[in-house]
Amino acid sequence: MLNDWLAPKAAALESRGLNRRLRARSADEDVIDLAGNDYLGLSRDSRLIEAAAEAVCRWGTGATASRLVTGTTTLHEELESALAAYAGHEAGLVFSSGYLANLGVVTALGGPGTLLVSDEHVHASLIDAGRLARSRVEIVPHNDVEAVTKVLAERNEPQAVVVTESVFSVLSDAAPLAELAATARANDAVLLVDEAHGVGVTGGGRGSVHAAGLAGLEHVIVTMTLSKALAAQGGVVLGPEVLRSHLINRSRPFIYDTALNPAACAAALAALRVLIAEPERPVAIHSAAARLAAVCGVPAATGAVVSVPMPGPRETVRAAELCRDNGVLVGSFRPPSVPDGISRLRLTAHAGLSDADLTRACTVISRVISEVS
């Protein structure tokens, strides 16, 4: 019965070149990785590994329960304070993923009295958060501040939240944060910015909200993942203390979920310390991204991601396969994972790439793109 149900769906995806497959990597694979999100090149750093191992020895292999039961360790609170201080906010609350941080904050602020105004390019976690929030959701054209202002001004709901990313995950372009914060304030709304691709990368590492002078404002909330530049796992919501208390009491993805593993907390804390001590790492991301962008003939992006439009989904997959055959891993993004329907190669610049690796990757990628396009 399940086969009759699902096999035609799989065949339909296959016929459009849109089926997805998992590919397990081995720990010692000898490739240049331009597909993962380890932007600062810290996932195998001995300082993070030692911190995570020590946390396992000290706290055990799991958090044992949800945060409100026995899952909150001193490590969780240390991480929350450190992230809030680094990014310039009063308080922070850690979730077990960035996805859950987004679900957690949007659903806790949502409801019939709250309008959500969401950029059309936001990440799936923010889209799903809007669906769960029981709010009216207005989707506005990408980075269109006038459209945001119009729906905020015309609303009937007493509260509103403007939802965006600081650096968008696929196109790696920037949101007009200062303008969005200004219109949010003028219209009695809150601005929620997902810095998944900003932390560790923009604003010298502290993110785009900090760089724009918006961190710590009463109507500005930030979410981050700890799984990309910070090379760990988990997510965080940053903002005023009153928000943190509200989430502890009202956010179902926080309350009904086992706490983040202590090893991930310790790794994220260690990553933050490295980031503070080695400010050259974010700079290295931008120079690697600029080199990759030049070789692919696309403009340099705001973040670590270099997004290369391809003729179609099949060409994208073929190009990624050819790169892999030549020892370079790149991402292939196709609908529905692309906001504008255009399939593309997604290359991620890492701080840890050697000059030789970058040169080799550029040679392979430029040859493959001209062969496939």
Ligand X SMILES: Cc1ncc(COP(=O)(O)O)c(C=O)c1O
Cβ proximity to ligand X: between 183 and 225 the closer is 225
CB 183, CB 148: distance < 8 Å: yes
Closest CB 75 distance from ligand X, rounded Å: 18
Give me the residue whose beta carbon is nearest to ligand X.
Answer: 98
Closest CB 173 distance from ligand X, rounded Å: 13
The two structure tokens encoding residue 187:
């219209």
Q: Is 134 left (phi over 0), alpha (psi -120 to 50) or beta?
A: left
Cβ proximity to ligand X: between 101 and 320 the closer is 101
Long-range contacts, stretch 219-222, CB < 8 angstroms, 24+ apart: 219/181, 219/184, 219/185, 219/189, 219/190, 219/191, 220/181, 220/184, 220/190, 220/191, 220/193, 221/105, 221/190, 221/191, 221/192, 221/193, 222/87, 222/89, 222/192, 222/193, 222/194, 222/195
Closest CB 99 distance from ligand X, rounded Å: 3
Closest CB 364 distance from ligand X, rounded Å: 25
Cβ proximity to ligand X: between 128 and 157 the closer is 128
> Which helix (H) or strand (E) covers residue 186, if one does?
helix 177-186
Closest CB 23 distance from ligand X, rounded Å: 18
Q: Which residues bind ligand X (CB under 6 A)?
A: 97-99, 102, 123, 125, 165, 169, 194, 196, 225, 227, 235
Cβ proximity to ligand X: between 96 and 187 the closer is 96
Considering all CA atoms of the chain, what is the largest pairwise distance in Å, rounded to the nearest integer? 58
Closest CB 311 distance from ligand X, rounded Å: 25
Q: Which amino acid is at 172?
A: S
Cβ proximity to ligand X: between 98 and 282 the closer is 98
Closest CB 167 distance from ligand X, rounded Å: 8
Closest CB 194 distance from ligand X, rounded Å: 5
Distance of CA 47 to the CA centre of its chain: 23
Q: By C-alpha distance, which of 101, 154, 145 is closest to 119?
A: 145
Give CA–CA dist 347/368, Å, rounded.
13
Strand intervals (E) in 226-296: 235-239
Cβ proximity to ligand X: between 235 and 262 the closer is 235
Cβ proximity to ligand X: between 43 and 102 the closer is 102
Cβ proximity to ligand X: between 169 and 183 the closer is 169
Q: Is 320 left (phi over 0), alpha (psi -120 to 50) or beta?
A: alpha
**Checking DSSP bridges between strand 114-119 and strand 328-333, what pairing results, if any?**
unpaired
**CA distances (Å), 157 to each of 107, 161, 340, in order?**
16, 11, 30
Closest CB 97 distance from ligand X, rounded Å: 3
Cβ proximity to ligand X: between 102 and 251 the closer is 102
Q: Which amino acid is at 272?
A: L
Cβ proximity to ligand X: between 227 and 261 the closer is 227
The two structure tokens encoding residue 38:
């380890």
The two structure tokens encoding residue 99:
């996805």
